[in-house]
Each structure stands twice: as C-alpha cells, then as structure tokens.
Amino acid sequence: MSGLEIVLVVLLLLAVVTAARGIRTVPQGEVWTVERFGAFTRLLPPGLNLIIPFVDQVGRRLNVQEVVLDIPEQAVITRDNASVAVDGIVYYRVMEPEKAAYAVQNLQQALTALAMTNIRSVIGEMDLDATLSGRERINSSLLQILDGATDPWGVKVSRVELRKVEPPENLVRAMNLQMTAERERRATVVRAEGEKSALILAAEGRREAAMRDAEARERLAQAEAEATRMVAESAAGAGESALRYFIADRYVKAFEALGTNPANKLVVVPMEASALAGGIAQALELLRVSPPAGTPRPPASVPGAGTTGAGPWNQG
C-alpha cells in the first residue's frame, strides 16, 4: 500500500469518527445537556442533533417524563410517643433540565432524603389517631413542602402518597381491644335505651288504660246514679212499696241467673223462702191495676204468702 492510500484511509477513519462524535440522536422523553470544555452551553431536544466534534460533548442525560420515586420505609415517632412504620411514593417531573442537572448533585437521592425528613416532621406533630385517619392532610402538607423545596432544582412535585402507616403489633392489639370495648359499650347503651323506651311505653300504656278504666267506671257510676234517680222519681208516688218491688225484681233476676247457669249443679238459697215470697206478693199487689167497672177484684194477697211451708221455694 502506497503512502497516498494510507493517508486516504486515515482521513476516512477521521471523518467517520468526527461524524460519530458530532451527530447525536436523543430519544423521546429525554433531554441532554451539551458541555463545551466542561461548561454548560445548551440542551439537545429529542431527535437528531449536531454538536461540534472534539469541542462539545454530551453532559447529563435527563428524563423529562413524570417519574415515580419510592420512599423507603422508616420508623416515625408521633407526638404521643407512638412508633409507626411509614413509606410512600413521590411523583415528580423535571421542568428545567439545566437546573435539575447542575443545581443538585443527585436529584433522586436529594428528593428521597427531603421526603423522608419532612414525613418525620409532619407526622411528629400529630397524634397517632390523627396520623392513622389523616392521610389526606399529611399528603397535602408533604406536597406543599416538597414542591416548594424542589423549585430551585427545576422539578415539579405533582403528588405525594403515603402507602403504609402501620403501628407496631402490640399497639395494634391494644387498638383492637379498645375498638371491641367501644363497640360493646355502644351496643350496651343502645340496648339500655331500647329497654328504657319499652318501659316508658309500657308505663304510658298502663296509665292510659287506667285512665280509660277510671273513666269507664265513672261513666258507669253516673249511669247507675241516673238510673237510681229515675227509679226513685218514678216510685216517689208509691213510696216504700215501690222500693220493695224494685228489690224483689232484682232478687228474682239474680236467682234466675244462678239457676240457668250450666256451671252450677247446686243452688244454695241463703235466705228464707217465705220472706222472698212475701216480697214478690207485695210486688204483685203494687203492680195490680184497678179493674174496669163490673170486673171482680182479684184477691189482695197471694195465697200462702207469709206461710213457711206453702211457698214455691220450699217445695220438694
């Protein structure tokens, strides 16, 4: 091979190397920085880009898509001295690649340390119950703090989520016992309220029944008084004979009820039959009306009235 051919081969190799050093293809979703003699000059967007060979070089390759960063688990002490295990995730995106490349040395490590520190700070100001029930509040506080702290780095923190907030096992058992006791207390209160309401309703029912019963007795007494008054007024002209008739009528009806009752096989008469027969005779004499003219007058008394052995109640 002649010297000219060697020179041509060297020039060809140099051209290839120069082209390879000067042409850069940036993938979608990334932005590269260009450094000239170690100083930042410009950014390379996605696509085909040209740089000056041997003078410019690619510095940092940054992902401008939204990135999910895992926050490792750590033990955090709450304000009431309870230890909880906490981890989470942070969603962020590089908005200014030159700041993200040169304003912070290791972006993900810095974000992780910042998130862990602020998680301890936020939860340390809260009680255990507020920590377990206030995840939204914690997430909002962390988002505001991290977004403000990473603004000089050219990073936008879009979301912060706590994935795990777990107290120790012994505290979980104590909380379960407390929850069980609280539920039993509520059930006891509800049952007592139900029994109280039932007793109140029963008492009100008894009171209403007593009031109605008293009202019924009052009305019955009024009716009896009115009936007695009407009988007394009707018998005012007849005097004592009318009262004897009324009593005899009641006696007859009472003994009739006793005699017709199928449950009574034996009727005991606790009085003299002659006295009862005499009362009935007086009642018949009172009811007797004056006959018309020409009609013979019936006898004034019932035969056998006042005789001990001749009354109808002493037969047999």
- pLDDT value of residue 253: 76
User: How many degrees, rounded to 5, is the angle at CA 128 between CA 126 and CA 131?
Assistant: 60
Per-residue pLDDT of the chain (316 residues; tens, 9 = 90+): 677 778 788 888 888 888 888 888 999 999 999 999 889 999 999 999 988 888 888 989 999 999 999 999 999 999 988 889 999 999 999 999 999 999 998 999 999 999 999 999 999 999 988 888 889 999 999 999 999 999 999 999 999 999 988 888 887 788 788 888 888 889 999 999 999 999 999 999 888 888 988 888 888 888 878 877 776 676 666 556 666 666 777 777 776 776 676 665 566 655 555 555 565 565 556 555 444 444 444 444 444 434 434 334 333 3
Give the predicted TM-score (pTM) of the model.
0.55
Q: How far is the C-alpha of 34 from the C-alpha of 51, rounded, in Å?
A: 8
Nearest to 116 by CA among 165, 74, 163: 74
Within 10 angstroms of residue 51's Cβ, the number of other Cβ atoms is: 20
**Type and span of the H or E element at 77:** strand 67-77
Residue 58's SS3 state is: strand
Nearest to 252 by CA among 233, 271, 237: 271
Q: Domains in the chain, please, with CATH?
A: 3-63 (no CATH), 67-167 (3.30.479.30), 237-291+298-314 (no CATH)
Helices 273-287 and 240-260: crossing angle in degrees, nearest 10, is: 120
Find out whether 81 and 100 touch, Cβ atoms under 8 Å.
Answer: no
